Copies of this chain bind each other. A is one copy, B any other.
């Protein structure tokens, strides 16, 4: 019995290792970005029927698991409020060190409101650099203003 999307995420992770698949290959098979595809396979986004079946084929999942991939998941991919993994922590640190800067500059440019994390996309690229390659991440979110009423 599968009673949560997390059970399916574990199946995908196990199958990915044993089959030696890359997220890039999964994304190509779906015709979607590697960022959205990975997030969805990790239980943070919802697949439609065709996508779920394609994912099920790639990872060899049961029909029940494929049905769960089409259910909106309970999101949140970190096991603790402050992440312990060094790669993920660096992102938390960026929010900690630059959070007030992001707030000041977005408000200075747009006024009161937020940058959406829903109407949002992310693109991760390698930039070659003789002093050491760089990870470049572009985050794009719609600005949503607070309005008085």
Measured CB to CB, the residues of A under 8 A from B are 1-4, 10-11, 13-14, 17-18, 20, 22-24, 32-36, 38-40, 42, 44-46, 51, 64, 67-68, 71-72, 74-122, 124, 126-127, 129, 131-149
Contact = CB atoms under 8 A, between A and B. Distances in A.
B23 A105 contact: yes
Contact of A102 (B79, B101, B124, B134): B124
A99 to B, nearest CB: 4
Given A39-B98, A81-B81, A139-B139, 19 more contacts: A22-B108, A23-B108, A44-B97, A44-B98, A72-B103, A75-B84, A77-B97, A77-B100, A78-B99, A84-B96, A87-B102, A87-B114, A88-B95, A89-B89, A97-B117, A102-B137, A134-B140, A136-B138, A137-B138
Contacts of A78: 84, 95-96, 99-100
Contacts of A100: 39, 42, 44, 77-78, 88
Contact of A118 (B18, B134, B139, B144): B144
